[in-house]
Structure 1
């Protein structure tokens, strides 16, 4: 799916992206799907559902709360 081939799509920049700069995550909602893209690469678009995006965000947040498990050092 190409971002520039979607006329009329209303993209919203993430509030975590800041005010300026090309490194922004943008979202749009089209026919029950969420579209995601980076503002510095607007032609690449990822389509997902709200439930799947919610699951990804919950999983990512759970990874921040969990202590990092370190692999035991290997001796050579």
Structure 2
């Protein structure tokens, strides 16, 4: 996992989670790129983001869905 510094325009196609709302604190966006899945707070798009390997992201999502 890597943590990237904030950038004004990453060139990534960000997708907001269907579980995110405009009223709550739980807002996540993801963007797929070759060899990485990027994750950020949709309410702070210029803030830091995480980049994880696709297999790590898949494992996380599988774990989260089964909870």
The reply to whether TM is greater than 0.5 is: yes
Ranges in structure 1 where 5+ consecutive residues have no aligned partner: 65-76
| Other structure's SS at 2:13 match | coil
Distance across 2 between alignment mates of 1:12 and 1:48: 16
Q: CA RMSD in A?
A: 2.2
Higher helix share: 1
The structure having more radius of gyration, on CA atoms, is 1
* TM-score, normalised relative to structure 1: 0.62
Q: Between Structure 1 and Structure 2, how many residues are aligned?
A: 62
Q: Which residue of 2 aligns with 1:55?
A: 59
Q: Which has the higher contact order (CA 8 A, sep 6+)?
A: 2
